[in-house]
Amino acid sequence: MNKSNLLSIVVLASSFAAGLWFFNSNQAEQTAPIASPAATRIPTELFNMESADGRFQGFVSKPQLYVSYFGFTHCPDVCPTSLAMLAGALQQLNDEQRAQLTPLFISLDPERDDAKKTNDYAAFFDAQIVGLSPHPGQLKGLAQLLGVYYKYVEIEGSEINYSVDHNSFFYLLNQDGDLLEKVPHTLSPTPLLEAIVRHLPKD
């Protein structure tokens, strides 16, 4: 079975659960702080993380669009679906557009998701997606400023011990750390693709 077919199976298997999660997540989302794209600038030092393969070491000074998604590698449905949507959007960009874009998967579970595990997980969906494992202070700061809701939930009798409840957004930022747009969880790559094209650096 090739990778494309496997990704399709992942999406199909996750769609029902993801849709149910999307319905039930409204309550969690109401408690999450909502970032205002017009007023939010994230200190770029909060993104000073190095990926396991060295491709990412922080924001660069040249014009660049960063698409960040927060999740965790043990996520059963929403994260795989969202990363598949991100991969679907990337596949519709040309080489020049992709060169202006850095997609990031940032773990909400750095205790279990080290840099290599997170990067390998992200790259499964598309080789361009960089997986990052922040230290707790970075994660807390990014979550507060961007409006990322997450909560560790104990699971009794499970080998994984706990899960992470979280909201699901793609955060589009420029090289200065300005939050340009938040794209909510979607079961189609189109809304994300349109937002990416809208915010790619202009010549």
Give the lowest-confidence range in 25-29, 72-76, 173-177.
25-29
Alpha carbon of residue 141 to chain centroid: 16
Tell me the CATH number at 75: 3.40.30.10
Q: Which domain holds residue 179?
A: 3-199
185 in a known ligand binding site: no
For residue 97, which amino acid is it?
Q
- In this prediction, residue 157 carries a pLDDT of 79
Q: What is the DSSP string of 98-148?
A: HHTEEEEEEES-TTT--HHHHHHHHHHH-TTPEEE---HHHHHHHHHHHT-
Whole-model pTM: value is 0.83
135 in a known ligand binding site: no
Q: Are 104 and 138 in contact (CB under 8 A)?
A: no
How are beta strands 130-132 and 101-107 bridged, if at all?
A: parallel
- In this prediction, residue 40 carries a pLDDT of 87
75 in a known ligand binding site: yes
The number of folded domains in the chain is 1
Flag whether pLDDT at 9 surpasses 90.
Answer: no
Flag whether pLDDT at 14 surpasses 50.
Answer: no
Residue linked to tokens 């790619």: 200
Give per-residue pLDDT as tens, 82-137.
999 999 999 999 999 999 999 999 999 999 999 999 999 999 999 999 999 999 99
How are beta strands 101-107 and 65-71 bridged, if at all?
A: parallel
